[in-house]
């Protein structure tokens, strides 16, 4: 990922890997950390994080997700990502608690 210069290309690669990823929690965490290197808030917003909501009940993936989400500078893009996760998780108590504790 470090050799990919384009934020759009990084987003495409990460979204593809996320779509193919099974339940490998460690790989999910690495992907979320890689998402932090995307400079474009729009590309971060459209990355396929929302597809992985079911695995975020575990603490480490939650932290990695919120760490990546917190690198989105645009309030509107960050809000869209966080709201979509809350909608898909049925306002999961653990996700709300993790977000508040960041």
Question: pLDDT tens digits, residue range 11-61?
Answer: 888 888 888 877 777 888 888 888 888 888 888 877 766 556 555 555 677
Whether 30 is in a domain gets the answer yes
Q: What is the pLDDT of residue 89?
A: 60
- Interval 64-71 mean pLDDT: 85
C-alpha 20/C-alpha 37 separation (Å) is 21
Whether 23 is in a domain gets the answer yes
Structure-token match 């729009």, residue found:
42
CA distances from 33 to 38, 46, 55, 76 (A): 10, 16, 16, 21
Q: How far is residue 26 CA from its own chain's centroid?
A: 14
Structure-token match 């898909």, residue found:
88
Least confident of 57-61, 71-75, 91-95: 91-95
C-alpha 33/C-alpha 68 separation (Å) is 6
Q: What is the pLDDT of residue 67?
A: 85
pTM over cut 0.75: no
Whether 52 is in a domain gets the answer yes
Range of the domain at 65: 7-100
Read off the pLDDT of residues 5-21 as tens digits, 9 standing for 90 and up.
Answer: 898 898 888 888 888 87
Count of structural domains, the chain:
1
């Amino acid at each position: 990922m470090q050799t990919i210069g384009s934020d759009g290309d990084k987003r495409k690669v990460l979204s593809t890997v996320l779509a193919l990823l099974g339940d490998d929690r460690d790989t999910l965490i690495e992907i979320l950390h890689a998402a932090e290197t995307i400079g474009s808030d729009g590309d971060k917003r459209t990355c396929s994080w929302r597809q992985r909501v079911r695995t975020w009940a575990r603490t480490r993936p939650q932290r990695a997700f919120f760490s990546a989400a917190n690198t989105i500078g645009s309030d509107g893009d960050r809000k869209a990502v966080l709201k979509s996760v809350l909608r898909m998780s049925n306002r999961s108590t653990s996700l709300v608690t993790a977000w508040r504790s960041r």
